[in-house]
Every structure is written in structure tokens, then in C-alpha cells.
Amino acid sequence: MHFQDIVNSLNLFWSEQGCLLLQPYDTEKGAGTMSPHSVLRAIGPEPWAVAYPEPCRRPADGRYGDNPNRAQHYFQYQVLIKPSPEGIQEIYLSSLEALGIHSKDHDIRFVEDNWESPTLGAWGVGWEVWLDGMEVTQFTYFQQCGGLDCRPVSIEITYGLERLAMYLQDTDNIWDLKWNDLISYGDIWLPFEKGQCTFNFEQSSPERHKQLFSLYESEAKDLIANGLPAPALDFVLKCSHTFNLLEARGVISVTERTATIGRIRNLAKQVAELWLSERKSLGFPLLHKNTEK
Amino acid sequence: MSTFLLEIGTEELPADFSRLVLPQLKSLVLDDLRKARLKHGEISCHGTPRRIVVLVNEISDFSDDLEEERKGPPLEKAFKNNQPTNAAIGFANRFNLSVEQLEIRDTPKGEFVYAKFVEKGLLASELLADLIPQWIGNLQGKRFMRWGTGERRFSRPVRWLIALLDEKLIPIDLKGGDPEIKAELFSRGHRLYNNKIKIRLASEYLETLAKNGVVVNRSERKDVIKKLIEKESAKSNAFADIPENLLEELTDLVESPSILQGDIDKSFLELPAEVLSTAMKVHQRYVPLYKKDSIDDPLLMNCKQNLNPKFLCVCNCLPSALVNVKRGNERVLRARLADADFFLKTDLKMTSLDRCQKLKSVLFAEGLGTLFNRVERIQWVVEHLLPYLDFSISKQTQAKKAALLCKHDLVSEIVGEFPELQGIIGAKYLYTEGESREVSLAVLEQYLPKSSDGEVPKTDIGSLLAISERIELLLSIFAKGERPSGSSDPYALRRASNGILQILWNCSWRIDLNSFINTAIGYWNALFPDLIVDSDLLLTDLKEFLRQRFISLLEDLDKNPDIVQSLAGQTIPIENVLSDPLDVKERYELLVKMRHDGILQSVMAVVTRAARLAENANIDKSIFSPIGIIDTNLFESECEFAMLKVLNSLEPIVKKKTSYRYHELATELVASAGTLENFFDGDNSVMVMVNDPKIRNNRLNLLAILRNQAYILADFTRINN
């Protein structure tokens, strides 16, 4: 199954489950969760069911394309359903069937793995899903987001698309994955990977990025002060990504790290509260939509 | 009599949940059945990844009747003119009795009416229907969650519930979850077997589940896994490396255990055994297979002589899937090891010394410079501790070299991937580059002990480096103003301090930590003029912190908290505690032995008595000699001369510098206990607090000197009877 077909199959599967199919959000982020379609929509009483592929950037994970299992830019497929429905594990297992992974031929396990995003002030409990010993999916019942208790609780399912594709295509090298019949993952992404790694590890200017961080932080603060949660989130995400870039350069000490994460979390918390009050002032419109499939 | 079954069906529970809650559940059930007066046979609790189970054999269908009685009003208020009053009628009504059924009894406070009644036993099913939701609600675990729109909290969502007395369903509504759960007759099998299985009879539960792929009994499952591992490792004539915690975890990761033996490409045996074994055990929960004649040398770079190119994987799949599952697991391990191989090869392109330079680009902690700076400080500590130790010149050189190289592997790729291998990898790289075994092993051992009962360094250089590394950490973190508090100890300073003491004790080294810290703080002060605001305060905090570690470590040895207080408690000046930690431990052991031998008591009694009175005396605690203080002309009794004789014989012992002096001092104190008692209570005893101030002070001084001499051993006033 080609990489693009995996995304298609998951789209088809989850749309049949009543999920809204969305596109990636256009700001750099370390995980699909950070898209407003997850992190903001998980807040408050309104129901929500969404699925979307999302590119992720983790600057420190890059290896210049030399490592067959690692990249600083990769894809997640993200599903978020609120409130979490009964039988979601079984639904997920059927999504694997849709990809041609049949439970009876494998050892599929749900192994405890609790998730926490210190920068988002979010945490949840759940599992990593093992497919014959390989972690292919992360399952999380959101308990808190932006420091707010999640009521109701959302379930988030995050597929590691490259892992799944490597399994389905029986290859040991991410760069050899077939995106379609003709073009490989490496054909598309390797030039970016090499250049980005040089940027992340060597060429980025720590000084300027520290300045950028401060600028983004100020912008986020002003936007919060002006009651604009959506654009404020964009700048919180920019802070978070800039912080990751600084970390990749190794210029953040342990304590500075804790303090900086605290600053981002503080912003994320305010954005969450602001978003909630904005939705409230609108009367939580999605509560009144017919959410039946 | 019936069999009672409770099955709490859940989504997959964390692997340590069963271990945590099964004992809780058993004691809740046992307790509540007793309180409910429900007779029962054996109670057993089980857990699988998807269920928590209670089975109770031979439970009564009704709880026992209870005969009770209540005291009512006094007779004269209950009956007036032989007629029952309203008080008597009301009292009888409360227990559904007629007035005639009330009894009259004499008590020390006069005659009273009594009601005797029987509280009838209740239906077991009704009692259990009340108890079950309480049990579920009372289980305590880590990180509980809510799900859906519900407010119920549990480890993972509760999805079904079975509560049966034999074949009868106990009606239960478990509220608060989403959706709410009603007890039913249907369980779930293993995910790959039947999804809904009817339980006809509680006593058939285990068997029915077994038919549907689930070994419910946890200890049985553990045993099955253990046997599977033994059988497979015997096949390869190998030794399975299965620590107890891994076995426990595997037991809680499967409902239907089976095993497969996976192959590892032989080329990966060029990697260190620790890398393979960490990838297998920690990352993948596989069991590594060691050759029976494997060589235990932590400096080996490859594991060709140690490991079989195999691993055991405990599975939860259908037997028909094993071939497929084996391929999948081999792939995953291959990817992990290929990663490790890649990191190792990258690392080996650089020398350890070059990596030390790279430490300059990694910050240690805010205000404390880079890891390179930290290493410089560790080097300083090592150099300044060496004078306390009897190391040969070559050993001193090696110790300094080990300090220089101690952290190079923190910037290696492989430690980035396997942080638990810090030190181990550093040592291997050094040895490969031709460094001596001593230096290499010291780099490995600097991280020992890893816990309070963990292995300590075996070599002297390793011990010195381990102590130095921890002292540096303590000083630096304290210097930047952080103190561990409550549960917050991000730099694990408690463990670090414990390590220092454990190593000193293990090596029988006498290092004056008190004066060393005083010297070191000057050096730190010069390094960080901006950080250290008040070095006196820092010193007090740090030393008091060490005192607390001292106390808690000694208290862990065996339970003699009063003796610990007499040696290291707040009444003991801090320099007495820290100037020779080994000395404190030796005295601790001596006093504990005296307690066991039953001779501590008499010494404690007499010294404590002397010390209490001596508080009225006016001499310094540092005076150990009676000469020039005690005036024999003021003596009035034999017992005073006897006391002086004891003090004279104790004085030279007290002034010795050897560690035997404590034994001698203790022996002498024990031998003199009778003489000393006579001072207070004998036929020729004297009053201390007499009116004549000269005589009084002379006697008080005798006691004060005794107190001072005994104080060398311990503050006996802190020791309990």
C-alpha cells in the first residue's frame, strides 16, 4: 500500500465513522495534537469528531537523512473524538483491518503509555499500540488541556504513518517508502531533510532565535490581551517550535528549559481559557448541531 | 452456600495495576464480608490486562443474625405505679418489641430496662449489591482517568461488570461511567476469541474463560510464562535474563501467553551486550538469552561470547499467527539495533578526549556553566580529596585521569539513545581506545550505587570518582540556591548524598567532610561570585541536609532511631557528625551491639542522670580532664574519690585518636556503671545540690566531666529506656 493510499484509506475509514475530514494546519508543530483542530476543540462541552493528516517537526530528531528510522519532519494521522465513545478500541482495530492489517494474524496490544505535553499544559492517559512489538499508534484519553479539565473527555488516536507504511511495504528504510508507484518518500523529502538538519543543528542563529522567541511571546501576550485566542495559539505554536530549534542547537540548559516550558505553558493556558470563553459567549454553537452520523 | 464472582471488565489496564490493587481488593472484600457477617470460604483475586476478578467460595446466602441489646431508661422512669411510662413504650417500639419483652437488670447505677433483639441476617445478594460499587470506588491506583461524559474515575474505562452468586445475577448499576454499566451475565474473552461469553455459573467462570483464551489466574499465568521461558532457553542451552520485574510486567501484558524465539542477525553481536539487552528488555520487553559460559566483563565492546543471537518474546496472539508475529518482532528489534549500530559507528569516529571538548557546548544548569565546567569542578574535588586517601602515585594519576574523562559519553550518540547506559558506554569507549582498566572502570562505577540497596563501586578510583561527582552536584545545586523539598528533588540530591555515605562506609575511608566542604565552598565562591549570596547559610543548609541523610540511612540499617539521634541528632554539633562519617557508623554499631547485649541500659541511666544535673555546672563541653577542676579537699565521701578514679581512667581513652577508643570507652563505662550509681544511690552516696556552693560546684563538675567524656561516644540523654 502506497503512502498516499494509507492516508486515503484512513480518510475513508474515519469519514465513514462520522469524522470530519480536515487538512493539515499551516503552522510548524511538534505533534498533530497541537493543531487547533485538536488542542482547542478538546476544550469545552461541544462535541467534535475529526480526522486529518499532520506534518510534524522535531528538529532534534533529524539525522541528515542518514538514519533509516529518523527524520526531523514526518507525518501523523490524527483522530479526535469528543466525547470518547464506547468501543473505540474495536473501531481502531477495524481501521487497521482497512489497511490490510488483520488482528488474527498479529499480536496487537494496548500497552500503557500516558501522554503529557508540558508546553500545552495537557495530559491524558492511554496506550501505545504495539503491532508485533512495533509502536504504530498512540491512544490518549484527554484529561486536561491548557490546564483546564476536559469535560467531556476526548479520545485522541495518533497513527505514525511512516511506521505503518514501512510495515505495510516491508521496508527497513523510511526513505525507500513508496509515496506512489513512481516516487519514493526520499525523492520528495530527503532534500528538505538534509537542508533542514544543517539549519537545525548548524546554521540557525541561536541569538536571533532567542529574539524571535521573545517577539513571538510578546505577540502572543498582546493577542491574548486583546481576546484573540486563535491567532494567539499560532504564536504559542511559533514559540514552541522556536524553543525546539534552540534545543536542537543545545543552547538551552536544564533549568532554562523548565522555565521556558513554563512560559509557553502559561500562554497555552490563557489561550485555552480565552477559547473557552469565546465559545461560551457564542453559546457553544456545536452543541446544537445535529451530531448524528 | 454459593460461589460469588465479580468481574470488572475494562479496557487494557496498565501493567502494574493488578499488582497494586489485587491486595487492596482482597482486604476490602475480607473486611466488608466480616462486617456484613457473611460467612465465606476462600477469597481469591485475579487480574488480566482487561479484567479484575474476585472469587469467593462457599459464601453464605444470608448474613448471620446478630443478637443485640440496648440499655433503656432507669426503672423508676420506665414504670410508674407498675404502669409503663411513655419512655418505656417509646423505647420498646424502637426495637419492635412490646413492653412485656423488655428486661429489667441491676447495674452499679441502679436498675434499668433493657431491650434484647435480634438483627436478622440479610440476603447476601442485597449486601453484595451495596458493597460492590464501594469496592470499585475504593481501589487506589496511579493516574486515574475519566472517560466520555462521565465523572467516574478508574485506571481505564470500565466496560462491563459481572456479579454472580452461583447462577444468580446480582443487580448492580455502576453509576458515573459513560455509559453507565449494569451487571450482566456476559464476559469477554481474549480479543481474538469470542467477544461475548455467557457465564452460566460463578464456579465455572475460570474454566469458561480458559476456553476463550484467557488465563485469569494471575499466578498461574505467571507460572506458565516462566515455564515457557525456561523451556525455550533450555532448547538453546542458554540462560534467560529475566529479572522479576520484567516477568511481572509480561504477566500483566498478556491474557493468553505463548512464546516465540526470534532471531537476531549475528552482525549485531558486534554491539555491546548492554545495548542489546537494554533494547530487548527495556524497549521491547523481550528476554535476552545469555550463553551459559558468558564472560562478565563490563568493558567488552561486543557480545559474541556472551549472547545468543536470539530473543524470547512472550506473545498474546493466536498460535496460527506466530510465524508472522516472529517476523514482525524481528523487524522491530532489527530497526532498533541498526539504529544503535549507526550511533556506535558515528561515536567511534571521534575520540573520548574530543568528546570531552564537546561538553563545552552542553549547558549543565542555569548559572552553573557547561558540562565541561562541571567536569572541571569534579576534577578539583578529586584532587582535593586525594590527600585524605592513601593512594599510590600511579593510582593518584589514574584517579585524576578518570575525573577528566568521566562525562565524555554524555555527548555520545548512543547514550543519547540509551541514557541508562551512561558510564557503561563511556568506560567501553575508553578501554577500546587503550585506556587502562582502572580508569575505564572508574568511569563506569561513578554512577554507583544507583539506589539505597544498590551495588557500590568495587574499585578505589571508582569510589573516589563516585563521591566526587556527587559532592560536586550537591555543592553546585545548593550554590544556585535550590534545596530539595518534600517530593521535589529534581537533581536526586538525596540519593547523591546517600551514595557518598554508603561509599565512605563501604571503603572504610575516613574523610573529614566537614572541613572538606568548608574548603570547597571557598572554591565555589570564587567560581560563582554571583550565585552564592550567603556562604554561611549555604554551608549550614548543606551540612544539615547531609545530617538528615545520615539519620535516615542509619535508621534504615535497623530500627534504633534513638541511638541514631544520640549520634547524629540535633544535639550533636554538625562537625562531630561530618568530620568522620565512618566513625559515626562504628559508634552506631557499637551502641546497637551494647543494646543487644543488654549493657546499654545501665550506662545510659547513669550518664543521663549525670548529664541532667550537670546542666547546672559551669564548665565547657570540651573539658575532659578533672585536673585543675576537681578539688579533692572538698570531697566528703568515698564515692567522690571512686568517681574521680573513673574519670581519671576514662580521660586517656577519650583523648586517644584510634577508633578502638570507643570500645574501650564503652567497656570502661559499663565496668564503672556500678561505681557511678553508688555516687547517687549507694550507702555512701552524696547530695549534689548542697547549700555550700564550693562543694556543690565540685560535685557538679565531676558529673559534667563524666558527661563530656561519655559524649565522645554519644549523647546518652537521647537514648530511650
CA distance A83 to chain B (A): 5
CA distance A254 to chain B (A): 5
Put simply, the answer to whether A85 touches B315 (Cβ < 8 Å) is no
Distances (CA, A) of B549 to A37, B90, B363, B478, B506: 50, 65, 28, 15, 16
Residue of chain A whose Cα is closest to the Cα of B358: A250
Asked whether residue B605 carries a pLDDT value surpassing 70, the answer given is: yes
Asked whether residue B693 carries a pLDDT value surpassing 90, the answer given is: no
Q: Which three cell numbers stand for residue A161?
A: 504513518
Residue A256 burial (CB count, 10 A): 15
Task: Say what the alpha-carbon torsion angle B642, B643, B646, B650 is, to the nearest 10 degrees.
Answer: -160
Asked whether residue B212 carries a pLDDT value surpassing 50, the answer given is: yes
Q: Which three cell numbers stand for residue B586?
A: 562504628
Interface test with B, best of A61, A67, A80, A132 (most B CBs within 10 A): A132
The percent of residues above 90 in pLDDT, for chain A, comes to 88
CA distance B185 to chain A (A): 19
Instruction: Output phi, psi for B147, to 5 deg.
Output: -140, 150
Alpha helices in B65-113 (DSSP H): 75-78, 86-94
Query: What are B242-255's pLDDT values in tens digits?
Result: 999 999 999 999 99
Q: How confident is the model at residue B652 (pLDDT cuts 50, 70, 90)?
A: confident
Asked whether residue B448 carries a pLDDT value surpassing 90, the answer given is: yes
Put simply, the answer to whether B335 touches A172 (Cβ < 8 Å) is yes
CA distance B362 to chain A (A): 6
For B318, which of A66, A104, A167 is closest by C-beta distance? A104
Give A109's contacts in chain B (Cβ within 8 Å).
12, 49, 253-254, 316
Burial B681-691 (b: 16+ CB within 10 A, else e): ebeeebebeee
CA atoms within 13 A of residue B227's CA, in its CB half-sphere:
8
Put simply, the answer to whether A253 touches B317 (Cβ < 8 Å) is no
| DSSP class per residue in B598-630 | T-HHHHHHHHHHHHHHHTTS---TT----TTT-
User: What pLDDT does B531 receive?
Assistant: 78
Query: What are B103-122's pLDDT values in tens digits?
Result: 888 889 889 999 988 888 99
Contact predicate A168/A65, CB 8 Å:
no
Give A254's contacts in chain B (Cβ within 8 Å).
363-366
Which among A66, A264, A53 has a CA at the least distance from the CA of A162?
A53
Query: What are A15-32's pLDDT values in tens digits?
Result: 999 999 999 999 999 999
ω into B449 cis (within 30 of 0): yes
Put simply, the answer to whether B148 touches A153 (Cβ < 8 Å) is yes
CA distance B36 to chain A (A): 35
Which among B566, B572, B570 has a CA at the least distance from the CA of B554?
B566
**Which range scores top for mean pLDDT: B90-99, B248-257, B409-418, B635-644?**
B248-257
Over residues B260-282, mean pLDDT: 95
For B317, which of A106, A152, A254 is closest by C-beta distance? A106
For B315, which of A107, A151, A167 is closest by C-beta distance? A107
Interface test with A, best of B10, B12, B195, B260 (most A CBs within 10 A): B12
3-state secondary structure of A184: strand
Put simply, the answer to whether B363 touches A252 (Cβ < 8 Å) is yes
For B192, which of A104, A153, A255 is closest by C-beta distance? A104
Give B332's contacts in chain A (Cβ within 8 Å).
132-134
Put simply, the answer to whether B327 touches A132 (Cβ < 8 Å) is yes
User: What pLDDT does A140 receive?
Assistant: 97
For B147, which of A105, A141, A167 is closest by C-beta distance? A141
- Using beta carbons and an 8 Å cutoff, which residues of A are at the interface with B? 66-70, 83-86, 89, 93, 103-112, 114, 124-125, 127, 131-134, 141, 143, 151-153, 167, 172, 250-256, 259
Put simply, the answer to whether A256 touches B366 (Cβ < 8 Å) is yes
More confident residue, B572 or A52: A52
Asked whether residue A176 carries a pLDDT value surpassing 60, the answer given is: yes
Q: How confident is the model at residue B602 (pLDDT cuts 50, 70, 90)?
A: confident
Residue of chain A whose Cα is closest to the Cα of B142: A125
Q: Which three cell numbers stand for residue B619?
A: 564548665
For A67, which of B15, B317, B339 is closest by C-beta distance? B339
Put simply, the answer to whether B159 touches A86 (Cβ < 8 Å) is yes
Q: How confident is the model at residue A254 (pLDDT cuts 50, 70, 90)?
A: low
Over residues A97-101, mean pLDDT: 96
HEC sequence for B305-353? CCEEEEEEEEECCCHHHHHHHHHHHHHHHHHHHHHHHHHHHHHHCCCHH
User: What pLDDT does A290 receive?
Assistant: 62
Query: What are B487-533's pLDDT values in tens digits?
Result: 788 888 999 999 999 999 999 999 999 999 999 999 998 888 877 77
Query: What are B178-203's pLDDT values in tens digits?
Result: 999 999 999 999 999 877 999 999 99
For B148, which of A84, A131, A250 is closest by C-beta distance? A84
Put simply, the answer to whether A172 touches B145 (Cβ < 8 Å) is no
Q: Which amino acid is it at A201?
A: F
For B361, which of A85, A152, A250 is closest by C-beta distance? A250
Put simply, the answer to whether B333 touches A86 (Cβ < 8 Å) is no
Asked whether residue B486 carries a pLDDT value surpassing 80, the answer given is: no
CA distance B442 to chain A (A): 26
The percent of residues above 70 in pLDDT, for chain B, comes to 100
Q: How confident is the model at residue B480 (pLDDT cuts 50, 70, 90)?
A: confident
3-state secondary structure of B144: coil
Q: How confident is the model at residue B371 (pLDDT cuts 50, 70, 90)?
A: very high
Which among B590, B442, B578, B461 has a CA at the least distance from the CA of B510?
B578
Asked whether residue B620 carries a pLDDT value surpassing 50, the answer given is: yes
Q: Which amino acid is it at B252?
A: D
Asked whether residue A293 carries a pLDDT value surpassing 50, the answer given is: no
Asked whether residue A180 carries a pLDDT value surpassing 90, the answer given is: yes
Q: How far apart are CA B63 and CA B126, in angstroms?
A: 10
Global ipTM: 0.94
DSSP state of B283: I
Asked whether residue B384 carries a pLDDT value surpassing 50, the answer given is: yes
Give B333's contacts in chain A (Cβ within 8 Å).
133
Asked whether residue A59 carries a pLDDT value surpassing 70, the answer given is: yes
Q: How far apart are CA B658 and CA B173, in angstroms?
A: 74
For B366, which of A85, A133, A255 is closest by C-beta distance? A255
For B328, which of A69, A132, A250 is closest by C-beta distance? A132
Q: How far apart are CA B147 and CA B156, in angstroms?
A: 8
CA distance A204 to chain B (A): 15
Asked whether residue B145 carries a pLDDT value surpassing 50, the answer given is: yes
Asked whether residue A155 carries a pLDDT value surpassing 80, the answer given is: yes
Instruction: Output phi, psi for B609, to 5 deg.
Output: -60, -45
Which among B500, B494, B655 has a CA at the least distance from the CA of B582?
B500
Contact predicate B401/B379, CB 8 Å:
no
Phi-psi region of B55 (alpha: psi -120 to 50; beta: other; left: phi over 0): beta
User: What pLDDT does B232 receive?
Assistant: 95
Interface test with A, best of B258, B315, B363 (most A CBs within 10 A): B363
Asked whether residue B692 carries a pLDDT value surpassing 80, the answer given is: yes
Contact predicate A224/A267, CB 8 Å:
yes
Give A85's contacts in chain B (Cβ within 8 Å).
148
Asked whether residue B629 carries a pLDDT value surpassing 90, the answer given is: no
Contact predicate A64/A198, CB 8 Å:
yes
Contact predicate B406/B465, CB 8 Å:
yes
Which among B443, B568, B462 has a CA at the least distance from the CA of B507?
B462
Over residues A42-70, mean pLDDT: 94
Instruction: Output phi, psi for A278, to 5 deg.
Output: -65, -45
CA distance B275 to chain A (A): 18
Q: Mean of the per-residue pLDDT values for chain A?
A: 94
Q: Mean of the per-residue pLDDT values for chain B?
A: 91
For B284, which of A124, A127, A133 is closest by C-beta distance? A133
As a whole number of Å, the CA-based R_g of chain A is 19
Chains A and B form CB pairs within 8 A to the count of 128
Asked whether residue A172 carries a pLDDT value surpassing 80, the answer given is: yes
DSSP state of B280: I
Give A125's contacts in chain B (Cβ within 8 Å).
143, 145, 156
For A107, which of B149, B178, B316 is closest by C-beta distance? B316
Query: What are B51-72's pLDDT values in tens digits?
Result: 999 999 999 999 999 888 889 9
Give A110's contacts in chain B (Cβ within 8 Å).
11-12, 49
Q: How confident is the model at residue B76 (pLDDT cuts 50, 70, 90)?
A: confident
Q: How far apart are CA A160 and CA A175, in angstroms?
A: 15
Query: What are B424-438's pLDDT values in tens digits?
Result: 999 999 999 999 999
Burial class (CB in 10 A: 0-12, 13-18, 19+), B360: middle
CA distance B488 to chain A (A): 14
